[in-house]
Amino acid sequence: MSTPRDVFQRLSDGIGSGDFSRLHLLYAEDASVEMPFMRPRAVRIHGRDEVREHFARFDGQISLTPSNVRVYETADPELIVAEFDYETGGERLANIQVLRIRDGLIVESRDYHNHAAIADMMG
């Protein structure tokens, strides 16, 4: 069985590759994803199908290279905190994700990205 760190690594690798077509398979059927810094308003995604739709909007459209990745394990074996940068075009943006991973699938994620800056970086 995959550890939470393994699952995060597959997610990070997939985003770094620019191929988002299978990333939804890392999420549980009833996953909950919150993006409190999304603009113009915070976004909540419920379920693998909505996660797939979200990733499909960006598949092949953006190139983000994760770097300076640090994964922190917590007293709760399902919960990790990942701190990392996205690099593109010489720019670097700090990010944090709080992930609950159960049975090898992401069941909850709170994603703290500067989505407006990512959009600006991508043109």
* CATH code, domain carrying 76: 3.10.450.50
Structural domain count, the chain: 1
- pLDDT over threshold 90, residue 65: no
- Chain segment 79-119, per-residue pLDDT in tens: 999 999 988 777 888 999 999 999 999 999 999 988 777 76
Structural domain span for residue 78: 4-122
Of 7, 29, 11, 31, whose CA–CA distance to 19 is shortest? 11
Give 68's pLDDT tier (boundaries 50, 70, 90): very high
Tell me what pLDDT residue 11 has.
Answer: 96
